[in-house]
Structure 1
């Protein structure tokens, strides 16, 4: 009898815990005085405003080049990975559990548009989204783990599965999506680099002589720079038709990159900065208090903005 009662008590306890599950997709992000110093995974410019997204649903925005930050109102507390603004007002953010958020006021308030329970696949799909790119207020694409891809043509009222547009039969992770010149590129694991001419059709794989993970791709028209694990970077002068390995001098992963009017910048996962005018030979740059970096962008007045484990940093790139 005691065993039966013990079993019933254990069952009630377990059922009580299950009923008390705190769904991060239903729990708003908690306001925090320390949010500006918490990990940042993605950055975007909303006009002249910097918007940063990170862990536990935190979204921050700054109107004074990163000197002061305000926390946005966000309806979820899942980790957010990337953000993209089509206009200074219209923005989208993505993250874990397939979450896609939308803001119509420059990043101050957000609404949940889609998640892994209603992402257009007809079944629960909790794969994380890792990056998003909006072409305009209506058309956009989000990509993520295990080949996950979602597309919209109506401003996010519907986010439909669009993996069938990608030359990715192995379902490799898709880490970044970027518009460069007239093309759209997706960088992934095992050297996967996809290109869509005009960004509206099918994505075909480029023949990159590298089989490690790529974390991103940047460029300025036909010049491309793809970067990833263990200091690997590859340069193309012809939109990916041919490639040559860039010299970086690093063994740590390259987490972010920028294409500037006068060259390229790479940032390592340990916070080291590299610069190259050609994209072929990189030289280290001064980096006060190097720390792990996950994202970078060019600010409204030419400053370099990086996001990482301790929040957002703003500094001027000084070439040696």
Structure 2
């Protein structure tokens, strides 16, 4: 029986990495009820006062609360040469057996592996430790080249910044892309970076609003249903196509056409998630013209066809809602 809806337990013990712990608490523990009410109910769960780096933390409750959470987050484990504490491993295993969604950040994957949750599953961790994880746990299919891996009830991320990617991925599953994008913009990070299955795409967010494209980018996003060209964008910005390309590279890290494609794909994702519109209608709404064109670009960028994406997303939302009830 669950404590409540969308409860998040961050499992902590001596030796946790404070950076990953901070990311999890910033995303799930901040009061964002103005976006979604209720937001997450977050608790630090650990065996008494614990030390994470130079910080001394007082948990809200013990590890015995983990099985009552909807989601359990395991931050990075600092000393991968040592086995994680048995009480932490047992509590994480019990939480998963009780139906919790369990996600590790960075080297937190070593805790999940010790609990047997990664056996027979694809997983990742910080690239510097993937060989150690694979050698110690040969039943785990360790992928060193991805940012995160989503196995449904068990998720793992690579190191540091990839922990943020996975946390935003969880928000997206729970609340949809619009909310996840808003949270990302608040944190001044990209809303999506490609995960293990390339299910999400890069959409750079400029860190400042006084860049040369500040007026152009919103203008383009409002007109995604139109067949815009680089020349159209350059004309609107009152600059040459070459000059526009240089500004795009500086501000977004990519070319005008690639940025435009990403915006069209992102809009298509939102419509697939939030509406029952046909793929043909969505293709027209995002400026792709035909369902064939949308399917080709969507499949190449996301890794699955639009129809499969819609089914997967809705199944994930349905499962989250069922487990929260």
| TM-score (norm. length: structure 2) | 0.27
| TM-score (norm. length: structure 1) | 0.27
Report which structure shows greater RCO (CA 8 Å, sep ≥6). Answer: 2
Normalized per residue, the structure richer in helix is: 2
Normalized per residue, the structure richer in strand is: 1
